[in-house]
Chains A and B, each alone.
Chain A
Amino acid sequence: MADAHEPNAGPGGPGGFAPPPLFFERMQRLQTAVACGTPDRVPLSLVMDLFAANTMGVSYPDFVSSVDIAGQTMLGAMEKLGDVDSIQFPTYAPDVLGMLWLAPMKLPGRDLPEHSQWQMDEQVRIQREDYDKILEMGWSPWFGQYIGKHLGAAAAAGQALQEAGPRWTMEYMKKGYVVFSPLTVDHPFEHLAGARTVKEFTLDLFQIPDKVQAVLDLIMAEKREQARQFVRAVGQPGLGYWVGSWRTAPEFLSPRLWNRFVWPYMKELVEIVAEEGGTPVLHYDANWDREIERLKDLPARRCVLELDGKTDIFRAKKILAGHMCILGDVHPAMLTLGTVADVKAYCGRLLDEVGPDGYIMAMGCAIPPDAKFENVKAMVDSVKR
């Protein structure tokens, strides 16, 4: 089941304790925003990893070595930032990205110098013949042996997160924080593009389009059921699931390719999550301007569009107002190189033009490791005006 939905960090559930009133207040705020309403104030939802390590004085190798150190560090950073409604996932293990892009990760202290950002080790790991093998064997059996060959660490990280996720979610709840979107449902395109490399996969789309589509359809046949069962089993209405886009962004693909290989699968996965009561979080990196209109075809007032600063968020709001909640997009460069005044001014504009209805204040994508603490704090405080 890991192939359909490896966790950002496992589901969480209230298990035998009552969260403080603050938790419910924040939850209410977020739910109102998701439904495109106007909450008492614009809520916040952060994504952070190594920024937390820097904030708490934890070394990168320590941070990536244990889901508990990561959880503790991220919770510590949340408390240091103060009045933040939510975090998107409660702990982290970067190796798990291997389950998304089918490539091993290089980590600080293990494969890279201690103070470096982790990297994906992108190489051509499957050949065109492997498409035939997948079609012959079926996706899960094929993927099982691929994990055995290339993704041992990724699978272990996935398991560690599944175990630690609920535990850490509880720790956040005790302190009044909502864990907003700890789970993921991945687009099959991301898997294949990662295992083939972007260049080779792009050539496949032009040169053997029917075969690629057959493989995507085969993966999808399994995923659609797995995803449905998974969201049902988690059984927490409103919990967020990332249905993300990295290599599938319209910026990289002409409409002809995108309409055939990206959108139909994306739309269906989003619909499945919504039908089962989850909140699809469209974590869309890169520029989506060309296809924003399309998002009107997704279920109304059920999804969250998470933008990273490359898409025109102000234009997106005009198009999607009343239909879809938007989350983002204080640019990584502004958090790193900008001043507190820059951040304040930009957040003010977001609150006025993208909020106050159907809007969640946040960074673009994730808080960069080297963001200035005072800049992040300025973003956090901006909603209290």
Chain B
Amino acid sequence: MTTSPLAQAVGDLEEETAVTLVQDKLAKGEAALSILEELQAGMNIVGERFEEGEYFLSELIYAADIFKKAGAPLQEELKSATQSSYGTLVLGTVKNDIHDFGKDIVATVMGSNGIKVIDLGVNVEHQAFVDAVKESGATLVGMSCLLTTVFDDMKDAVQTLKDAGLRDQVTVLIGGGPVDQATADYVGADYYCKTAQDGVIAAKKVLGVN
């Protein structure tokens, strides 16, 4: 897979180039979702360089800001969809993890596909998922997790739903950079979602929507 100029700009921390490229692409009528994928590929470059010791926390913080800024004009298009709601998703980044871009995209994309989202934010206590499900009667729970070191927290969060007697009533979707099917099996989730779009497909399947 070759790296697109946009992904490269994000990876190289070239803020202005990244912002301009997104605007050009939008002007040319490219779909917001595909532009988003390129931005995300750029974040993967950043992650690789961090792992290799070329980038440090300072670069992660700057990359995160570039991602947010460059991606801002996409929000409109990602949001513009139906108003009615097919069901409710309680969403959050699990305890001890504060990464929120992926989760925010999930919230936007789900919302734009007619699913009501209750966003609990980041570093979410296990019990908060339970409380929100009880309060809203949600049938979907989404957990985002970007740190392998926090998989056990995600496992505990699922267990807390079980302990509260809610596990049969909800479908648990999980996602985030290092998460895969094995993670889903390990933590006891129902669906592993590689992208926010996968999440929508899974949610619609569960809710019986086409």
Chain A positions within 8 Å of B, measured between CB atoms, are 198-199, 202-203, 205-207, 250-254, 257
Contacts and interface: CB of A to CB of B under 8 A. Distances in A.
A203 B55 contact: no
Interface stretch (B56-64, B86-94, B123-131): B56-64
8 contacts: A202-B57, A203-B65, A206-B13, A250-B56, A251-B57, A252-B56, A253-B58, A254-B56
B153 to A, nearest CB: 18
Residue of B13, B55, B57, B58 ringed by the most chain A CB atoms within 10 A: B58
Nearest to B54: A254
Interface of B: 13, 15, 55-59, 61-62, 65
Contact of B56 (A199, A206, A207, A251): A251
B61 A257 contact: no
B57 A253 contact: yes
Q: Which of A199, A251, A254 counts the most B-chain CB atoms under 10 A from its CB?
A: A254
Q: Closest 3 CB pairs between A and B?
A: A202-B61, A252-B57, A254-B56
B169 to A, nearest CB: 34
Contacts of A254: 55-56, 58-59
A160 to B, nearest CB: 35
B56 A203 contact: no
A203 B62 contact: yes
Contacts of A205: 58
Contacts of A250: 56
Given A202-B62, A203-B62, A253 B13 contact: no
Contacts of B58: 202, 205-206, 252-254, 257
A174 B111 CA distance: 70
Nearest to A207: B15
B129 to A, nearest CB: 24
Contacts of A202: 57-58, 61-62
A199 B61 contact: yes
Contacts of B55: 254
Contacts of B56: 250-254
Contacts of B59: 254
Among A202, A250, A252, the most chain B Cβ lie within 10 Å of the Cβ of A202
A211 to B, nearest CB: 16
Contacts of A206: 13, 15, 58, 62
Contacts of B15: 206-207
A120 B22 CA distance: 39
Contacts of B62: 202-203, 206
A252 B58 CA distance: 6
Nearest to B65: A203
A203 B61 CA distance: 7
A250 B13 CA distance: 20
A108 B128 CA distance: 25
A238 to B, nearest CB: 36
A198 to B, nearest CB: 8
Nearest to A250: B56
Specify which of A198, A206, A207, A257 lies most central, judged by the most chain B CB atoms within 10 Å of its CB.
A206
A257 B60 CA distance: 13
